[in-house]
Structure 1
Amino acid sequence: MEEKREKGLSASQLTMMAIGSVIGGSFFLGSSVAIHSAGPSIIISYILGGILVYFILFALSEMTANNPGAGSFKGFAAAAYGQGAGFITGWVYWTGMILAMSSEATAISILVKNWFPNISTTIVGTSIIVGVTLVNLLGASRLSKLESSLAGVKLITIVAFILMALLLILGLIKGTTTGGTVNYTRPAFLSEPFFANGFRGLAGSMLIIMFAYAGFEVVGLAASEARQPKVTVPKAIRKIVVLLLSLYIISVGVLLFLIPTNDIREDTSPMVAVLNRFGFGWAGTVLNIVLITAILSTMLASMFGLGRMIRSLADEGQAPGFLKDKKEVPYKGIVFSGICMLLGLFIGLLLPQVYLFLISAGGFSSLFTYAMIMASHIHFRKKHGKPEDKLRLAGFPYSSLFVLLCLIAAIACMPFIKGQGDGLIAGLAILGFYGISYFFMKLFQKARGEKKSSYRPEQRFQYEISKELSETDKESDNSANKNKKREDS
């Protein structure tokens, strides 16, 4: 066991895996929707989102390190609120991620078609999903190396944008357009209200920002494969939160200095919008390439978590028996998840309206999962008390309750935000589907159990008793015969 831990994932590998999972299309492209909704107050949303991520990560890692046998946040939900809660949490998370990743494959296909118009979306999307599945079959160690490389590309791109923006703000470089030189004059955010659309705009951006942070939970799923988890995981959490907050806040901060939020279109990356404003037209091509690597990186890290979630469900008898896998790499869960992603891709191509309705539930599944993590942590602390080591969430119970209330408020605000009402309806429908599925699964298991108990156990018990008695009788008869022979002789 000790040898395995020495070969496990380091804090840096866990950090890069989480960064790779989090920083994807939702940041490079989706952040424009959040910025348009909140205006300059988007900074508050990113800071609050980072604080929530810190608390959720620490709560999840505290439970994982002090009870590694639980398997995942699904296991903690089951321990706190029963097997039904664990079943629903695990499958809702898995379903949301499968839908989200199949849509990411579609997004890459669309980006590739910009350069190769005649290429088939189906072929590109299928190739991407198959490739991501095969890479995950190589194991956590090899995956983390590739994930670190792809995450590195994203980090370099964001840092390069920040440096370029700072040079523009300081006047060390000047933009050029067909009309001549473009000079930076004054902060753009001073020309508009800080809260562009009031509290509703801030709440709407908060919901989107939580999607931009989504994916960090892969650290909790990977904690069991970490090297010395109680030392490695806390280091990884601090690195992840500091990196994400720094990159998100600084990049959005310099962006607000350079372009009014009203000039950012919802279908364009805000980084591209800024660079185009100052005449750097080549930025679109570069950002599209980086966006593809960002999505691939997110898919690789997400598949890592999906395979382990399926294994956890199968071990508890809450997934088909053929998905049980005792190997270190959950091959069956990974392949099964890859096949389901392909099905999601084909549904999206054949029934786009139905698929768009389902895909909007992705945000709901993330918020629901995080809410269950915090609710489970409250129960975990009440039952086990405060851990002695440093891997524990500070400020309990107020910190846990604060995060839980924020997540519930975000879910409750979904109907009031453009495009998110369908997400709430679809999310509740998926929740209801798995609730009914669990009910029928228990009925089926109970029927099988009653049948077994009324025949096999009792018959086996009676058989074993009669066998023991008959063997005793035989021994008695044998001993009696031996004594009789001795007397005769």
Structure 2
Amino acid sequence: MCTNQKLNSESEAQFMSTQNESGPQEFERGLSGRHVEMIALGGTIGTGLFLGAGKSISAAGPSILLIYIITGIFMFWMMRALGELLLTDTNEPTFVGFIEKYLGLRTGFVIGWTYWLGWITIAMAELTAVGTYMKYWFPNIPVWIWALVFLVALYLINIIAVGAFGETEFWFSMIKIIAILAMIAAGVIMVLTHTRTSAGVASLSNLWKYGFVAHHGHQLLAAFQIVFFAFLGIEFVGITAAEAKNPEKVIPKAINSIIVRILIFYVGALIAIMSIQPWTHYSANQSPFVQVFSGIGITAAAGIINFVVLTAAASSLNSSLFTTGRMLYSLTPATSRFHTLNHHKLPFNAISISALLIGFAAVINYISPDGAFEIITSIASAAFVVIYAVLVLAHLAYRKSADYNKFEHKFTMPGAPYTDYATIAFLVGIYIILLTTADTQLTAILALVWFAVMILLSLRIKKDKNK
């Protein structure tokens, strides 16, 4: 009887904490400061800006600038909460370890597997997107072939060394930055020279001349969820802490720079877009970047932006392979073959099985090319609202625990715990918007069903471990 209890206790301990082991199970710290900073930037800039900005501008008008700033502040606070947790144990491969520690095994199980499966489905969608973007230049080659080519290439990069991943992500982010800076530079030059376009004269007054709020404010709340989804992936920099050189310095710098980057790359780009021509001239179904570059006479605008969004999709796919590998490593027991590192100090098995699952996107595209992942990806995106809220709850629990008095607190969340409560309230508000908006209501409900199923599974697993 005592022996069985001892074995069960050891088994549960392995399941609850798979990172704090003795031995060689430590990741290589191969990500430099510039890698981590670019990864942080890449996590805040995705296809949501390049393709989705037209929809958000149409929904809110120039007031979308305030919505980006407000949402950006709450996302920054969420990241500061994550950063404070990360610096308590920089060897933790993922933030789920902190959720397990401060909110319990079952919560860690639900959030961890939801996050892993969420990134798997998002990666599937990005893989499909990559193939679709390539058809712009190669219309006769099926989507599934390009999907396989990109998946294999990025998989090989992810299993070579963490530095190879970091370098690839650095250049992916650089391409996105150049595109946005080009847009901002074009806006500044055109406003200063009063350049005439087909829609009028480029001027800052275009921000208020045609009304600052679209549709009398009727779509302002819906615009919040559009903007929130543009920030998905911002937490990805937290996954890099265990593999970053000098994380105590690099992680705070990367997180602190997020708010400035939001102001420059989101707000700056949108000001440029709406100054070059009035916001009323942008279509919700077309990238405003394409519309602007086409409007100033760059005939290859569509091709340029297609290349940029291809890069953004490939960057997200690259990040997905990195994240899902580390998550699966973190979630599985120490005795599992997925909780091992190879001679490059990479979770090779965990990355490989994640890549294999993502690769089913190519199979599904071969069988059914049209609209294979849209609803699944939407459910995963809705789940991220809950994941972020639980992350902030873990920070609150950490602040109330005895652990809080063990650290020097060099990097703390400003205004905590009040900023924690405000961030959680904001995220709850976003989910209420999802539930009450016709376009997102179904996926928000299905996400709740998913969490209910996962909670039931977590109860069963805990029961099994107590036998």
Residues 1:277 and 2:295 are matched in the alignment = yes
The answer to whether the 8 A contact 2:125-2:374 is kept is no
Query: How many Å apart are 1:30 and its aligned residue?
Result: 1.5
Q: Match for residue 141 of structure 1?
A: 163
Distance 1:439 1:199, change over 3 A: farther
Q: Match for residue 420 of structure 1?
A: 440
Quote the Cα distance in structure 1 between the aligned partners of 2:76 and 2:84: 12
Could you report, residue by residue, the CA deviation over 1:397-442 in whole angstroms, capped at 9, with x for unpaired residues? 1111111110111011103335211220231232223223323333
The answer to whether the 8 A contact 1:18-1:215 is kept is no
Residues 1:81 and 2:103 are matched in the alignment = yes
Aligned to 1:168, the other structure's residue is in SS state helix
Quote the Cα distance in structure 1 between the aligned partners of 2:204 and 2:98: 51
Of 326, 330, 333, 2:347 maps to 330
Aligned to 1:323, the other structure's residue is in SS state coil
Quote the Cα distance in structure 2 between the aligned partners of 1:233 and 1:186: 36
Of 206-215 and 238-247, deviating more is 238-247
Quote the Cα distance in structure 2 between the aligned partners of 1:349 and 1:423: 25
The answer to whether the 8 A contact 2:195-2:202 is kept is no
The answer to whether the 8 A contact 2:202-2:277 is kept is no
Q: Match for residue 118 of structure 2?
A: 96
Quote the Cα distance in structure 1 between the aligned partners of 2:411 and 2:187: 38
Q: Match for residue 464 of structure 1?
A: none
Query: How many Å apart are 1:202 and its aligned residue?
Result: 2.4
Of 136, 153, 160, 1:131 maps to 153
Distance 1:155 1:186, change over 3 A: closer
Residues 1:217 and 2:235 are matched in the alignment = yes
Quote the Cα distance in structure 2 between the aligned partners of 1:78 and 1:237: 23
Percent of matched pairs sharing the same residue: 27
Q: Match for residue 385 of structure 1?
A: 404
Aligned to 1:66, the other structure's residue is in SS state coil
Q: Match for residue 39 of structure 1?
A: 61
Distance 1:403 1:186, change over 3 A: closer
Distance 1:330 1:399, change over 3 A: same
Of 283, 286, 290, 1:265 maps to 283
Unpaired segments of 5 or more residues in structure 2? 1-22
Of 170, 178, 181, 1:159 maps to 181
2:424 aligned partner, one-letter code:
L
2:354 aligned partner, one-letter code:
S
Quote the Cα distance in structure 2 between the aligned partners of 1:287 and 1:426: 33
Structure with larger Rg: 1
The answer to whether the 8 A contact 1:264-1:273 is kept is yes
Of 308-317 and 162-171, deviating more is 308-317
Q: Match for residue 459 of structure 1?
A: none
Counting helix residues as a fraction of each chain, which structure ranks higher?
Answer: 1
Quote the Cα distance in structure 2 between the aligned partners of 1:139 and 1:121: 28
Q: Match for residue 429 of structure 2?
A: 409
1:333 aligned partner, one-letter code:
A
Quote the Cα distance in structure 1 between the aligned partners of 2:283 and 2:290: 10
Quote the Cα distance in structure 1 between the aligned partners of 2:415 and 2:30: 31
Of 12, 23, 37, 2:34 maps to 12
Q: After superposition, where does 1:198-213 map in structure 2 within 5 Å?
A: 201-213=219-231
Q: After superposition, where does 1:112-127 map in structure 2 within 5 Å?
A: 112-127=134-149
Distance 1:183 1:69, change over 3 A: closer
Query: How many Å apart are 1:188 and its aligned residue?
Result: 2.5
Quote the Cα distance in structure 1 between the aligned partners of 2:234 and 2:203: 38
Quote the Cα distance in structure 2 between the aligned partners of 1:6 and 1:425: 41
The answer to whether the 8 A contact 1:195-1:201 is kept is no
Of 340-349 and 56-65, deviating more is 340-349
Aligned to 1:194, the other structure's residue is in SS state coil
Distance 1:165 1:69, change over 3 A: closer
Quote the Cα distance in structure 2 between the aligned partners of 1:272 and 1:127: 27
Q: After superposition, where does 1:310-329 map in structure 2 within 5 Å?
A: 310-315=328-333, 321-327=336-342, 328-329=345-346
Distance 1:116 1:76, change over 3 A: same
Aligned to 1:413, the other structure's residue is in SS state helix
Residues 1:356 and 2:356 are matched in the alignment = no
Quote the Cα distance in structure 2 between the aligned partners of 1:243 and 1:416: 31
TM-score by length of 1: 0.83
Residues 1:440 and 2:457 are matched in the alignment = no
Paired residues in the alignment total 438
Unpaired segments of 5 or more residues in structure 1? 451-489
